[in-house]
Amino acid sequence: MKKGIKIISIFCTLFVAFSCQKEYSVFDESKIEGVYPYINGSATSVLFYFNQPTSSYKAPMALSGPTEAQKMDVYVMVGNTATKVKTITLPTDTYEVTLQEVATALNVPVNSFAPGAQIILRNKIIDADNQEWSGANTSNISGGLKSGTAYQNLFQDVSVFVTCPFVADDAVGTYTVIRDDWEDVFPGDQLNVVKVNATTIDIVQYPATANPIPLRVTVDPNSGAATVTKQLNGQYTYDLYSAGSGFVFSCVGYIKVTLNFTYNGGAYNGYTLIISK
């Protein structure tokens, strides 16, 4: 069974802030102490694009709390190691980190972040008293802090997915099978991919039924996210249907979809197909 590629997302929780150098009372509406940053609306860009240095995670931001904040340091996490990416002078109304800034911080080429990678950013605020405020010294007690999708707290880790825009013409060609959990094809076998239109491709000869109907994949042109809408793919003895999701990285010739099959009244879920040029 597969561990699916998870589209990049920022999870939001209610927080109660405490200083790492002073002990404060619980954050509440009547006695607010401390400071925290939040996304003030919706992020305008949420993806890093393969080998595109200026691609960025960018969102409108604001601060809440009476403490005077001087700056916010941004770190990239590799395992448990935090490497400083940049310092954002406060106040500001924009939070933005580019792929080039992350690459520079880690001293690696910008093209070393392959499609499918996930980059984790972590933030820390320094106030006028040189006190630090971050997720590490923030409690999970509910109250006070703005919540909901319009107020995503930037003390939570920011996960940014690396992908590439989908170009159907680039996706066309002969692919080698890397993995097929369904075992209709095997590593080393070859499958052809053809263009249907600007956002749709067919994986020909798959599944390998007696009278195969190609697996049709619809791709979001911005993110490369792929959808397999429930479809008939031919018969073994009985009709075989498939549906699922995944990614098509046309810039590097890599396709991964995880499929749920229906056959003879039975459901067979979570079978991954990976093919590569």
pLDDT digits 0-9 by tens, 110-169: 999 999 999 999 999 888 778 888 877 655 433 444 444 444 678 888 999 999 999 999
How far apart CA 277 and CA 175 sit, in angstroms, is 4
Altogether, the residues listed in the chain come to a count of 277
Structure-token match 């009476």, residue found: 66
Q: Which of 57, 89, 49, 51 is nearest to 73 (CA)?
A: 89
How far apart CA 51 and CA 107 sit, in angstroms, is 15
CB count within 10 Å of CB 81 equals 9
Question: Which of 9-13, 89-93, 172-176: highest mean pLDDT?
Answer: 172-176
Q: 132 and 155 in contact (C-beta within 8 Å)?
A: no
How far is C-alpha 185 from the chain's CA centre? 29
What does pTM read for this prediction? Answer: 0.76
For each of the domains in the chain, give its residue range(s) and CATH number, in order of start.
Answer: 16-163 (2.60.40.10), 168-276 (2.40.128)
Residues sharing a CB contact under 8 Å with residue 188, sequence separation 6 or more, in sequence order: 176, 177
How far apart CA 118 and CA 7 sit, in angstroms, is 9
Q: 190-197 and 173-180: which strand pairing?
A: antiparallel
